[in-house]
Chain A
Amino acid sequence: METLLVALLNGLIYGLLLFMISSGLTLIFGMMGILNFAHASFYMLGAYLAFTAIHMFGFWGGVVFGTLGVALIGFVCERYLLRHVRRFGHVQELLLTFGLFFAFEEVVKLFYGPYAVAYSVPESLRFTAFHIGEVSYPFFRVLIGLTAIVMFAAIFCLLRFTRIGLVVRAAVLNPTMVQALGYNVSVIFSAMFAVGAGLAGLAGAMGGAYYTTNPNMATELGVIVFVVVVVGGLGSLGGALIASLLIGVLVSAIVYVDVTFGQILSAVGLVSDEVARSTLDVPLSSAAGVLPFLLMLLVLMFRPQGIAGDERA
């Protein structure tokens, strides 16, 4: 019971981390129609920049440096690269971000080598937040979750209750009209891209310290983030939140189930015991990596626009 509770809590926090990254992706898509392949690279860059700055400014300085640095990189990417291919259409934008994804990974390898770097949670933050039965739960995980929640609240309030948010939401719906009313829409777009990138950078600076920081982290997470936005519905913050939590919890929970596929199939009577022990000796927990994709296929079949996506897309 306690292990299950811990697993669910882990899943919840992993889901919140996923949300930190997918929220930026989904915001940028909703606004500009750009699907940013390099978005998970921003997560990676956030972790590496924070790791670099940690020697100079300490852990929190590193996190701030990572966030702002990645926001700046995002701004430069939008202003000086993406904007120039916009006239060739969305697929060309997609290709450019795909190339950037490739290039960012190689740049990171250039400076830090192909292996993981020793970026970890500082000693001062390594204490137990609370106990669940016998299990002590680390404070830093809770902190990651809290950061995501605060961030969600901040974005939500910014978009919902402020004048800036009003203009931004209007720019999403009808950019030409907003431009005609005298707002500088291209600055709004650049700023939103920078904010989205910065959020991914923040997630990287926090998550990289807890999980591993290596040049593969963008690839590993990037695919899951894509699944999250397809399941949640592109352009919807609420959908991204629900899908992130769902996938986080599902993936974490299944690791604790200790049976193999062979055992299940032979119990039903589909295959013989011998096949179950040889070819199909695959633990169900190894499906943790496959589960998000199956969920995505199910959503595509029964609700192609995603949980909270609108019908038009």
Chain B
Amino acid sequence: MKTVLYIGAAIAAAALLALPIFGDLGTMNLVIKIMIAAIFALGFNLLWGQAGLPSFGHAAYYGIGTFATIYMMNAIDRGGWFPTPLLPLVGAGAGFAFGLVAGWFATIRSGVYFAMITVALAELVSAIALKWEGLFGGEAGIRSIRTDWGPFSFQSTTSVYWLTLIWMLLVMAFLFGLQRSPFGLVVRGIRERELRVRFLGYDTHRVKTLVFAISAAVSGLAGGLLAISDESASMVLFQGSGSAFVVLNTVIGGAGVFLGPVIGAALTTSFAYFGANLSHFWMLYLGIAFVVTVMYAPQGIGGAIAQRARAVKAGEKAAFGTGDLIGIVAFALTFLGLIFLIEITGTICSEQYRASIASAKGVWPPVRLLGYDFNPLSPLPWLIGLLSLGAGIAIVVAQPHLRRPRLLDLVTTKAEAGK
């Protein structure tokens, strides 16, 4: 198993090193975005996975990091001395400072209260950014440019790529070390049983505030890298979707595995990059994927892989069995069905389509899907969609290990959760 891991790591490293030579500009930009999202998700997971504090408002610290870095870039442009490669530290510093204050408030409560407070704090920042045009530049946002530093030029995308890659590795090493350190142990102790950690003599509120601030600092660092890559910042960064995406990345990837958030970030960022061109409704697919993950694979993709790896090592399961094959077929059928239903419904409900009906004098123009034209009034596309979706779900229900969790006694679980 270890060898597989090493081979995988070697392939990933080779791909990351070779990309600037073989990759085109679009791919390179995509990978930069993935790496930034991965740093953000890793920082977020320190709070979510390690400390067990469900934050739903991390976009605030990310956005603050971006704006702080943009202001510093402008200062450099006007003759400041700050070295460009260290710019993300400005974002991290801003995130840390803000995270200390926000974290102090938010960690007064835990659990769902904590979640609500983080949402409200993020909304507070967003509301301020929306109104304070003098500082945040309003709708248009503010722009800056990258300045060269000493012998290093930062004008090309390749240079940004290297910078982001190096920072990602540094952050990974830092967070991995933190997780292994005694501090990381205390943090996990608070997640498991806070009262007990308190009895051991730790000031848990202080520890939680510090974890929150470190998490916010890493988020701010990711924001700083975004500022360097985009050379601009706007208040859109503070909107709820930013906070939502980092939760999505972490949960889909798996919060219990160190590299889980990275897997999630790579998947959703690529999906957003390609999906946005293919369909107007890519967010809906993402939302459905998220709900399905939460229901059937609460440990996320990374967690599922780790679980399987352990089972293989113990000799309980094959690395890839017929069950997986059936699962993939079921997934493909369900997905195909969803594509048909969602795309055709979405297209015929759009205003554009209504207009084209009117211009064609009441004739419904065909809907183009997967390279074929379908008449939305004929039952064919709807039948394909419904049958495919039904078949996929039927396979899932028929498979014992893919079936949804058995109905558990509601009351006992509630009582347990209350303890």
Contacts and interface: CB of A to CB of B under 8 A. Distances in A.
Interface of A: 29, 32-33, 35, 37, 81, 83-92, 94-96, 98-100, 102-103, 105-107, 109-113, 175-176, 179, 185-186, 189, 219, 223, 226-227, 229-230, 234, 278-282, 286-287, 289-290, 292-294, 296-297, 300-301, 304, 313
Contacts of B121: 293
24 contacts: A32-B414, A35-B115, A84-B295, A84-B407, A87-B408, A94-B115, A98-B56, A98-B244, A102-B287, A102-B290, A103-B284, A110-B345, A110-B349, A175-B414, A176-B412, A176-B415, A185-B410, A186-B411, A223-B120, A226-B119, A227-B120, A290-B128, A293-B120, A304-B109
B417 A90 contact: yes
B410 to A, nearest CB: 5
Chain A contact residues, majority secondary structure: helix
Contacts of A186: 410-411
B404 interface: yes
B350 A89 contact: no
By CB atoms of chain B within 10 A, which of A91, A95, A234, A289 has the most? Answer: A95
Contacts of A110: 281, 284, 342, 345-346, 349
Interface in B234-258: 240, 244, 247, 251
A216 to B, nearest CB: 10
Interface in B382-411: 404-405, 407-408, 410-411
Interface residues of B, number: 57
Interface stretch (B63-71, B129-137, B310-318): B129-137
B117 interface: yes
Contacts of B288: 103
Contacts, number: 153
Given A81-B295, A289-B130, A226 B116 contact: yes
Given A229-B116, A296-B117, A92 B298 contact: yes
Nearest to B352: A113
B131 A282 contact: yes
Given A103-B291, A111-B345, A300 B112 contact: no
A92 B294 CA distance: 7
A94 B134 contact: no
B113 interface: yes
Contact of A86 (B113, B115, B284, B410): B410
Nearest to A292: B120
B127 interface: yes
Contacts of A84: 295, 404-405, 407
B54 interface: yes
A168 B251 CA distance: 34
Nearest to A178: B411
Contacts of A90: 111-112, 417
B417 A89 contact: yes
Given A37-B56, A84-B404, A175-B410, 6 more contacts: A84-B405, A185-B411, A223-B120, A286-B131, A290-B127, A300-B108
A88 B298 contact: yes
A95 B294 contact: yes
B284 A107 contact: yes
A107 B283 CA distance: 10
B127 A100 contact: no
Given A35-B112, A279-B134, A85 B295 contact: yes
Contacts of A102: 244, 283, 286-287, 290
Contact of B134 (A37, A88, A107, A278): A278
A226 B120 contact: yes
B413 interface: yes
A226 B121 CA distance: 11
Given A98-B247, A99-B287, A293 B127 contact: yes
Contacts of A227: 116, 120
A256 B121 CA distance: 25
B362 interface: no
- Interchain residue pairs A-B with the least CB separation, the first 9: A106-B284, A103-B287, A293-B124, A35-B112, A289-B127, A102-B287, A99-B291, A279-B134, A286-B131
A38 to B, nearest CB: 11
Contacts of A32: 414
A77 to B, nearest CB: 10
Interface string B258-298: 00000000000000000000000101101110110011001
B134 A281 contact: yes
A96 B295 contact: yes
A1 to B, nearest CB: 28
B349 A290 contact: no
A185 B411 CA distance: 8
A36 to B, nearest CB: 10
